[in-house]
Amino acid sequence: MKSIRNYRVLSVAAFSFLFAYLLSFVFEGQVLYSTIDAFGAQSNTYILAAIVAHFAGLFSCGFFIKTPSGAKSAMIIGMAICLIATAPFLFAPSALWFVGLVTAGYASACAVAAWGFFLKRYTLKDERIKSCADVLIFSNIIMIALNVVAINLSHTIGLLLSMFCLILGGALTAILPAGTDEETTAVTTPETERKSPGDIRKPMLVLFLFVAVITVTSGLMYQVINPAFDHLTGLVSWYWAVPYIVALVFMRNLSSKNRVQRSLFLYVGMGMIIAAFITFMLLGRGTVDYFVIDTLMLGACGIFDLFWWSIIGETLDYSQNPARMFGVGLSANVLGVLCGDVLGVVITSIRLPDAEVAVIALTVVCVALVILPPLNRQLTMLLKNHAYLSAYADMSEKQQSAIICQVKLIDPLTERENEVLSLILAGKSNKEIAATMSIGESTVKFHVSNIFSKYDVGSRAELISSLLKNQTKA
């Protein structure tokens, strides 16, 4: 257990250095902006290319990285490629800048997604929120240091330090053990040869939509709020991410003590993000105004980010390929930021007064936030359902039979209802049950409704949870 904790710290440190490079350079980082500005180059093309390449890398990485050893190699090789691809930025602009940024965007994304294997292996499921918080906290602290150096001292030194982060991250990753042969076999075994508690694609789709919607506000912030405070360069260089870090520390401590439910954080963040845009609309553009607006905005971003990072961390147990789950989840964040960027560019290009721009941005944010609660409820239910089905699938046939027999004794079901229940426990959807039983989907829904009514539950997750609890008591 002690060695696992040590490896957790080591993996968090390795990923923090990688992520600090990503935040300070590839992903709309201040080191990149400072370098581009120092040479008088145009930033839009470079930034867009890097974001698109990063999205592609996160989304596709898990389809060819399928083993723990492959994940370790992907992290080390990815960071080495990023190091080489960043080198051209030490010199005057050329075609190598564009090629290098696209290459770094894709390679860093593969390295990030691959870390999902280490997060799953070295952190217990109920403690992954701590690892996610630690990564976000430490990487942002390092990013602040790199930004301060690049903006206030020298963009070249900032760039060299971000490259040094890659070296440190690669060295720490090389120390980590990749994983056992048993784990590799589990990952590479075809899906048809393993027990499958149900289709994970639907929860993944809902998770993808949830993360994308929740991060649209980040893209809007880059394009609408940040440019309004360009004159406060020195202050922005160090304070910008401070409220983000404070929010992460606060949430991490609350979560570790189990004082509040995680969903409450979501609604607190929603209130803060709305308040940020309202204060942006009402206040001026001075130092105190920036402190108020940035504190609300980045504090909300910290809450949102740890909220969905921790959900992704917990879902790693639902897939045999953590790189795919982790990568697809984070790619939704990139897509959300990209959509927010596009919306922000469109809004600001209209050349309206700041107050009107803020009203339009606030309207977009409110629409996004209205979508979040139902998405959150659906995601929570889907994940619970999958978790209960996983527990049932891991039982022996004798235990599964005992549950079915117990159901018949507690509250008799009709023959058809018993068939439907068996298929529900096999992870089948209503459509799949209808096809298996050669009946209409509406008929299946009727039987499912009767089963729910007899056991006084409102969903499959509640039904399966109730059955498992009763079986445990028995």
pLDDT in tens, 90-108: 999 999 999 999 999 999 9
Query: Can you tell me the mean pLDDT for 221-230?
Result: 79
Residue 188 is predicted with a pLDDT of 35
**How far is Cα 36 from Cα 105, in angstroms, rounded to an integer?**
16
**pLDDT level of residue 29 (50, 70, 90 thresholds):** confident
Residue 189 is predicted with a pLDDT of 36
**Sequence-ordered list of residues with C-beta below 8 angstroms from that of 455, at least 6 positions apart, any chain:** 411, 463, 466
pLDDT in tens, 254-269: 765 554 566 777 788 8
Taking the model in full, what pTM does it have?
0.78
Would you say residue 65 has pLDDT above 50? yes
Cβ pair 408, 418 in contact under 8 A: yes
Would you say residue 145 has pLDDT above 90? yes
Residue 228 is predicted with a pLDDT of 82
**How far is Cα 256 from Cα 251, in angstroms, rounded to an integer?**
8
**Sequence-ordered list of residues with C-beta below 8 angstroms from that of 127, at least 6 positions apart, any chain:** none
**How far is Cα 454 from Cα 355, in angstroms, rounded to an integer?**
56
Question: 134, 158, 133, 156: which is closest to 145 by C-alpha?
Answer: 158
Would you say residue 390 has pLDDT above 90? no
**pLDDT level of residue 193 (50, 70, 90 thresholds):** very low
**Sequence-ordered list of residues with C-beta below 8 angstroms from that of 419, at least 6 positions apart, any chain:** 437
Residue 60 is predicted with a pLDDT of 92
**pLDDT level of residue 243 (50, 70, 90 thresholds):** very high
**pLDDT level of residue 213 (50, 70, 90 thresholds):** confident
Residue 408 is predicted with a pLDDT of 47
Q: At 162, phi and psi to the nearest 5?
A: -65, -35
CA 292 to centroid of chain Cα atoms: 27
pLDDT in tens, 340-367: 877 777 777 777 666 666 677 777 777 7
**pLDDT level of residue 156 (50, 70, 90 thresholds):** very high
Residue with the bigger pLDDT between 44 and 97: it is 97
Please report where in the chains the tokens 């930004």 appear, as a residue: 147
SS (H, E, C) 305-337: HHHHHHHHHHHHHHCCCHHHHHHHHHHHHHHHH
Angle at 287 between CA 281 and CA 290, to 5 degrees: 40
Residue 400 is predicted with a pLDDT of 58
